[in-house]
Structure 1
């Protein structure tokens, strides 16, 4: 199916109407008549304060702002010397350690979010998510002053993390079992997008802490980027741990919600947790979860509280789903279309790259075959046969290309 031809207004309208019909049972608003014009009117009728805040965010993340950040970094590099390196090295090391400590929960969550994918797609989803995280984190560093000065950014990030927790751990009131996770489940590209949003939400606090450590932007960017790279490898290790101890997936989403609660409480000046306190609380949650899973006596003692909490999360998720259903009806088809386009582009690029990989890896075998085809003295009706060596080379290259694609 070719999805790169573009989406017409009539097509978007039909998709929106179909999505609206699915949520009409949960929302009393007449969503079945929702079309593109109605969606535009909803956006136009947003409060002016919301529109202004979104405009300010986009202006801070504009190409000009990113260009200024890059230009300032280049200016610093032009006058870069050994003294600057010695002065910035401790900052880089400190930020790598800080990112590592703060990213223990992040890595567990990323591993849990990609666990439902096939084996050959798990590492690929992590790579795609981390690649996007680099771009997002640099953009957030460029707008760090704006992020610190706008409290609603932390509130939005914290709210998203809390929503991930309740949607993943909520159960029905009858306790018949867990509901399907809505944070991190889905197809490949839906999972990549979820990983991106989760990392950006985690990044709010990390970026603020990183910028506060130094005014040397090159050191801050280097430390943060190395920290993200370390998180990607740690997340790969956690995939194996979650397969061995499935309870770690639930613990990961508990950590997500806990970090979200801390973001909200800190922004409202209700609670202030330093990095040591956060690390200790994360360790305590992991230890309690493992004891609940491995020790029968602890499981029996904590079971009523765990059941009650799961039902509470389920009720909160149902309530928020009803409230957010109109927004989901608008965004879901658009995001689905964007994911399908990205998938088509990836598949097309992969197919185009295969011949180039072959030509680059076996130039001599290809050269022999081309010379035989072009300069053979036989007549045009005579078929050109490849040598057994060339055939084996082609088979080997096909196997290598298949293995590379699966990775």
Structure 2
């Protein structure tokens, strides 16, 4: 979900078609992107955590979001075509739903836990393939999120450079918020589940837009549900081990 895709912001963004006014709005756009991309950011953070090395997590985010930025700019350039090409939107909704279900299904969770116990050492060929897989998954996930928001952003403003500037801001905000969520996922026990449920909601919304447009909920409803999910996600921390119980 992106700031440019919210209809209530349309007059403000349209009024900023002059670049002097846009510069005054950039801080607001950055703040909005950081808040509204939380559902996307937590999914990217959870995907990056599959790499146990923090340095590799940062590298994967940099490479994956760099690729995602190229995808976003390409989508903006062909947004009018994307609006009419429903199979691509269907694939995006199915991918987001698969991402949600595959990460919340109990069998998948147990396999992930087992995989962490046998994680390969950094620098091994298997580990390098894992990095490439994570980078590709990050880029595809952001692409799926972007299909809905980019089409809406182009509908809001016909200034291609303005929409591209919003796309760049969105990716920068994602990089910053994803790094924060990587830390928070190790602290809050329900946060990852809340994030993947939010991903599933976006997938359902895309599917409804294709199959039953009259049933698509307004943006504020989706925002409210996502906000409630994240309140629950931040509601409980993992227990902190007692130092006296740690054996040397």
Q: TM-score, normalised by structure 2?
A: 0.74
5+ residue gaps, structure 2, are 1-16, 117-128, 238-248
1:20-56 superposed Cα distances (whole Å, 9 cap, x missing partner): xxxxxxxxxxxxxxxxxxxxxxxxxxxxxxxxxxxxx
Matched ranges for 1:48-197 at <5 A: 84-86=18-20, 88-89=22-23, 96=30, 98-117=32-51, 118-172=53-107, 178-180=109-111, 187-197=130-140
> TM-score, structure 1 length as denominator?
0.46
**1:258 equivalent among 197, 201, 221:** 201
- Shift of residue 245 of structure 1? 1.4
User: After superposition, where does 1:347-362 map in structure 2 within 5 Å?
Assistant: none
Tell me if the contact between 1:171 and 1:179 (Cα under 8 Å) persists in the aligned partners: yes
Distance 1:213 1:98 in 2: 16
- Higher RCO, Cα 8 Å, sep 6+: 2
Q: String of CA shifts for 1:289-320, please: whole Å, max 9, x gaps.
A: 445x56xxxxxxxxxxxxxxxxxxxxxxxxxx
Q: Secondary structure at the match of 2:203?
A: helix
4+ residue runs over 6 A deviation: none
Deviation at 1:143, TM superposition (A): 0.9
Q: Deviations over 1:157-216 (max 9, x none)?
A: 1110000111111125xxxx83435xxx97111111110110000001110121122111
Residues 206-260 of structure 1: per-residue CA shift (max 9 Å, x gap): 1012112211111111122012101111110111111111421222211111110
RMSD, aligned α-carbons: 2.4
Equivalent of 2:154 in 205, 208, 211: 211
What CA distance in whole angstroms lies between the structure 2 residues aligned with 1:280 and 1:241?
Answer: 21
Distance 2:87 2:32 in 1: 24
CA contact (8 A) 1:251 1:289 kept: yes
Alpha-carbon distance in structure 2 between the residues aligned to 1:143 and 1:180: 39
Shift of 1:95: 5.1
Which structure would you say has the larger Rg? 1
Seen in structure 2, the aligned counterparts of structure 1 residues 237 and 109 have a Cα distance that, compared at 3 Å, is same
**Gaps (5+ residues) in structure 1?**
1-82, 295-407
CA distance in 1, matches of 2:152, 2:218: 11
Aligned match of 2:6: none
Cα shift readout 1:136-170 (whole Å, capped 9, x = no counterpart): 00000011001111222222111100001111111
Contact 1:99 / 1:224 at 8 angstroms: preserved in 2? Answer: no
Count of residues paired in the alignment: 204
Instruction: Tell me the equivalent position of 1:240.
Output: 183
The alignment partner of 2:50 has SS state of coil
- In the alignment, does 2:212 pair up with 1:281? no
For residues 57 and 101 of structure 2, the distance between their equivalents in structure 1, rounded to whole angstroms, comes to: 24
SS in 2 for 1:116: coil
